[in-house]
Structure 1
Amino acid sequence: MKRILLILTAAFALVFPVYRVLAATATPTAQPKTTGEKVQIDTLMERLATKVAELKQTQRMAIYGTVKTTGVASVTVETKTKNLKIELTDDIKVIQDVSGKRTALNTDDIDQGDSVVIFGEFDATLDLMRAKVIFIQSKLPQNIAGLVSTTDAKNFTFSIKDPLGTEILIDFEKNTRANEWNGGSDIAKSGFSKIKTGNLVYISGYPVPNKTNRFSASRILILPGSAVPEETATPKVTLIPTAKPTGKILPTAKATIGPTEIPAP
């Protein structure tokens, strides 16, 4: 009987092994955040929400119009639909194409009446545009005429006097096209060396920004035969005295009138 109990006990142990139960380690619970951390998180969330709202209110856009008024911090541009206030930001870029060259300017160069293209961000809430780039469109060329008063071959400039007597300095650019009329029906190509003091010239070009009475020439037409000749030594004239009159009146022969013959009938 004991032998049977031992065999059953051994069989039971083999079929159902005994596992050792280990005590489970308790999972640490999240510690409540301190007041300072909570304030920082709330502040970050508010800033994020504000930025999202700003992005929804502003949009990138470009406008075209004419400058109506100018100021230190803003300008007003008349567009096709309305007048729009333009805020001049600190990092704004002002550009203009001058004589075929892209020239960087500043906000002081924006004048009333300028045609401009503006790129920036439009704030629908404030109804204004924060400008990033302002491109001033080149004005139509102006035409002037006058007599050449001085030339400077070193700097490729010359001065003219217009009909009102105003002296204007002319820049002869690399891309300036000069022509000369020969007095007939032909117009020949010319250059700076052909411009002489006294020449009558017709010039098409643009005023130079920030310069008074200075003009950048695009085209020049030189009229021949109007140059002032170079000064030459004036020859001295020697007067030779003539003989003094004696004051005596010489007698003249008296005219005698003889009888005239009358032809017979």
Structure 2
Amino acid sequence: MLSATGPARSWRLLDREIPLDGPAIAGVLNVTPDSFSDGGCFVDPGSAIARAWEIVEEGAAVLDIGAESTRPGADSISPREEWARLEPVLGGLRDLPIPISVDTSKLAVAERALDAGAAAINDVTALRRDPGLAALAARTGAGLVLMHMRGTPRTMQRDTRYGDVVYDVRAALVAARRAALEAGCAPRQVAVDPGLGFGKSVEGNLELLARLDEIAAIGAPVWIGASRKSFLGALLDVRPRDRVAGSVAACLAAARGGADVLRVHDVRETREALTVEAAVAARKVPGPSRARAAGGQG
């Protein structure tokens, strides 16, 4: 097992550093017709580019673009189709002031995306589909996110049983991170994501959030993608678009557990909640309460 050497203070993407002194926000942009939350909203490149700039204005530190749906039951598409969706959007975002992460597990797509200006690869298979992504990240210096998923999007919810979901997910992420480091990646390049909603039950997702400190103990930057996920729908009995409050609550719980990057659809709402949370935390006084220290009622 890799042991932690203390919390990572930044995440490196090419020549950029994302500071991790507080949770950073990765804004989600799906350029797909069939994503579970906003499928079809940004298929048009012009709409996608406009939304990307809104995500910047709302306070995201990273833009995470996905051109292939990974919702439960989704079929894979060809690299050619995925790139056809990505190319015009990336081409229109050359001047974006924040780095772009491309959500892909295909080496050919990742190579083209980095050539077109992307700075990171978000691999939902944690190198299981194409281990060559690690060598690509090592060669280019791109950031690499390794996410845990059992099976494929089409099959991942068929078996959500684990002996200990946190232990099993942590072990898989440690192994994937080790493979990336052995391929030549620097530790600060490689982030890990426990993959909420990807081959987990409602209870499993909650357990991962409750014990996120065990994932953070790996010593890598921790990504969390709870935004609008189905486990929130199961808890709240609401549609994806109505899961904003639940998503924000999950993000706050993740931040308290050690999450470094929060991947969200609702950037402004998440940023405002984190701002309030940080302001309250800054007022806390260590040790005995002020009332007790002043001799007030116990």
* TM-score, normalised with respect to structure 1: 0.19
Greater Cα radius of gyration, structure 1 or 2 = 1
Bigger share in helix: 2
Bigger share in strand: 1
* TM-score, normalised with respect to structure 2: 0.17
